[in-house]
Structure 1
Amino acid sequence: MIEEKTPAFWRATLALCCGSFMIFSNLYVTQPLLPDFQQAFGISTLQANASLAVATLTLGLSLLVYGPLSDAVGRRAIMLITMSGVLITTLALAHVPDYTSLVLLRALQGFLLGGLPAIAIAYMGDEFSKRAMALAVGIYISANSLGGISGRLFSGLIADVYDWRASFLSAALLSLVCLVVFWWALPKSRHFSPQSPNPVRMLKDLGKHLRNPLLLPVYLIGGLNFFIFVNQYSYVTYLLAGEPWLLSSSLLGMLFLTYLTGTWGASISGRVALVLAQPLCMALGILLLMTGTLLMLIPSLWAIIGGLFINSFGFFFCHSNASSWVSRQALTSRASANGLYLVFYYLGASSGGFYLDPFWSNWGWGGVIGASLLVFGVTLLISLALWRKDPRPLSQIN
């Protein structure tokens, strides 16, 4: 097994982080471009959101395929093939003739984007020791946030200098670099035990995970938190693009630098979980999400940015612990268990806009804040209930 802080640990972690960076920079490349899409294609806010929502939807659904498939045929090849498909679709997005074509191509891209997230943590579970995995998951998820930051930041900047099509071309170039590093650095699986493809067994595995009282609550926490978190960024983009702020695409893209605190939160999550039980860590992350959300109710640009910084730390701190918890609690069919967690996670992201849009349309930003706090209150209660079931920190678990 790969032990923490060894050369093999850092090489494998570098590869998975490059892959994660590539996936999430492509997933979120459209988010700061939503006002540009509205102007270019004459569409509504809800229609513009479809460029993100459809990708997260098909990504989430794809995880039902990739997780069980990788349990049967292996991890590395699927990740490489799907990442190559992401690169090709990103290039194609720069040349779409209309918004319908863009949305359809984003749906295909979303399905390809699911290959790495569905499998990466399962690969770690196969190849890393438990302590090494707790550290690696935090670093890996910090790369998620860095990818999300970069995709949004550079797409906004490049759209201001050139146009939104150039944003996709720059994302493709960055993706090529990440793909080459991933192919070179990721070790082949040595501890993977294939299972014969069996659709009936795959469905039984998914059903078993859904009935597991230690897994289903965490699926709900991950899905409902992301349901709100990522869509808050979409609506804050609309808020700050309007009066009195009138921020440009490049400045809107810079809002996603607030994800940097999420990178920090994810990177320390494994160490904190050695001291505090992971469900308690999740609860602390959610309390921070509620605090940041309340701060954004103040009608000040600096208060809104401060709230986004707090929210990012809290979200990724919670998400990293939730992801690690799932892999630790799933003793069999680990990729299926992690894939199911991400199904909840990305279906939450794709549907959150439909939940928040009526609040935005009827009550503005205050409505978005109130609707967000309601959902975070639910996930806080779930995490505290899970804490009562298992109050042990990782240091007390063999």
Structure 2
Amino acid sequence: MIQARTRAWWRATAALCLGSFLVFINLYVPQPLLPGLKDTYGVSTLGVSFLMSASTLSLAFSLLVFGPLSDAIGREAIMRITLLIAGGLSLALAFAPTFESLLLLRLLQGFVLGGLPAVAIAWMGDEFEKPALLSAVGLYIGANSLGGISGRIVGGGAADLGGPSAAFIAVGMMTVVGCAVFWRLLPNSRAFTPKRFKLRQALGDLLGHLRAPVLLAAYCLGGINFLIFINQYSYITFRLAGEPYQLAASSLGLIFLTYLGGTFGSTLSGRLAGRFSPASCMSVGIVILMLGTAVTLANSLWMIVVGLTINAFGFFLAHSLASSWVGRYAQGARGSASALYLVFYYLGASVGGFWLEPFWRWAQWQGVAVGSWLLLGITLAISVGLWRFERRDHC
């Protein structure tokens, strides 16, 4: 077993953080490009939003495939091969002749991008001692957000120089080069023991989690919150690309630096949960997300940025606590319980455009705010229900 802070630990952790960074830089690179792609292909705001929805939907599905598959055939091959294919697909996206082909490539890319997130923490669980695992997971999750921010910034900057195709080429080349480094850094597994895949048992575990109200509530809370949070960023690009702001793609990419508010929120969540009820802290996070949305209604660009930063803080506060809630209350098969949370999480991102598009057409950004508050009211009620359960559970 790999011990914390040893040379082997640093090498393996660096490899997995790099892999995580590459996954999320590919997943989110189209987001600041949406206004430009909308004009290039002559599609609607809902149609171009499918570029994000298709990839997150297929990623959600792939989590249910790659996780059990890795238990049977091993984990390194899945991570290495899927990451390489993802880079190749980014290069292919640059030359997509039609919007339909672009959408199909994003659907395929989303599926292979799920290979590494589905098995990375399981690989660490196999190879690392417990203290080493805890330290590595924190760095790995940090690389997730860094990759997401970088994908938007790199994509926006490259698009200003050479259009959307240049953004996909830049990220594709970064991924191919990074994948070569990842292959070299990642050690071969020594502690992995193959397990025969049993479909009936796997399905039984998933159904058991879905039948547990306390878990299903957390799944819905995380999925609906992410539905609002991630799709607000898509629609804010349309708002800021138009009058009176007329921001270029590179400036739209910089808007996603507001995600750093979420880094602070997720870091603070552990401290708050140690002092207060985790469910009540989820409620606080949702209220903060609702208030941040209200701030974005201002006409000042700086106030919009402040509102988005507040949103990120509130969302990640609630998300961190909801995901840890699943690990706390799952009765056995915690791996599949956590995977199911991520499935709901990315499914929420996939359907958000269908929910918010009518509100956008009705009243532009003010409509998006109204649509957001309607669903956030539901998740706030869910969190209050979890708080009441928590109080009864401790009596």
Structure 1 counterpart of 2:368, one-letter code = V
How many angstroms does 1:323 deviate by?
A: 3.0
Match of 1:254 in 2: 254
How many angstroms does 1:391 deviate by?
A: 6.7
How many angstroms does 1:120 deviate by?
A: 2.7
CA contact (8 A) 1:138 1:267 kept: no
Task: Please provide the CA RMSD for this pair.
Answer: 2.6
CA offsets per residue over residues 104-124 of structure 1, 9 Å max, x none? 111110111111222233344
Structure 1 counterpart of 2:176, one-letter code = L
Moved more, 120-129 or 153-162: 120-129
The 2-side partners of 1:315 and 1:136 are apart by 23
Match of 1:396 in 2: none
Contiguous gaps of at least 5 residues in structure 1: 393-398
Contiguous gaps of at least 5 residues in structure 2: none
CA offsets per residue over residues 318-353 of structure 1, 9 Å max, x none? 323333443454464444222211111111001001
The 1-side partners of 2:259 and 2:17 are apart by 16
CA contact (8 A) 2:288 2:311 kept: yes
Q: 1:86 to 1:190 in 2, by over 3 A?
A: same
Structure 2 counterpart of 1:178, one-letter code = G
Q: 1:158 to 1:185 in 2, by over 3 A?
A: same
Residues 9-88 of structure 1 aligned to structure 2 (within 5 Å): 10-88=10-88
SS in 2 for 1:247: coil
The 2-side partners of 1:18 and 1:339 are apart by 21
TM-score, normalised to structure 2, is: 0.90
CA contact (8 A) 1:226 1:345 kept: yes
Match of 2:179 in 1: 179
SS in 2 for 1:237: helix
SS in 1 for 2:302: helix
Structure 2 counterpart of 1:88, one-letter code = G
How many angstroms does 1:276 deviate by?
A: 4.2
How many angstroms does 1:129 deviate by?
A: 6.1
The 2-side partners of 1:35 and 1:206 are apart by 39
CA contact (8 A) 1:125 1:327 kept: no
Match of 2:350 in 1: 350
How many angstroms does 1:390 deviate by?
A: 4.2
Match of 2:321 in 1: 321
The 2-side partners of 1:165 and 1:25 are apart by 15
Moved more, 112-121 or 149-158: 112-121
Q: 1:297 to 1:268 in 2, by over 3 A?
A: same
SS in 1 for 2:96: coil
Percentage identity across aligned positions?
55
CA offsets per residue over residues 190-210 of structure 1, 9 Å max, x none? 555543112222211211121
TM-score, normalised to structure 1, is: 0.89
Count of paired positions: 393
Match of 1:377 in 2: 377
Moved more, 372-381 or 97-106: 372-381
CA offsets per residue over residues 56-112 of structure 1, 9 Å max, x none? 111112122122222333333222221121111111111111111111111110111
CA contact (8 A) 1:160 1:248 kept: yes
The 2-side partners of 1:354 and 1:15 are apart by 37
CA contact (8 A) 1:118 1:342 kept: no
CA contact (8 A) 2:88 2:176 kept: no
How many angstroms does 1:168 deviate by?
A: 0.7
Match of 1:367 in 2: 367
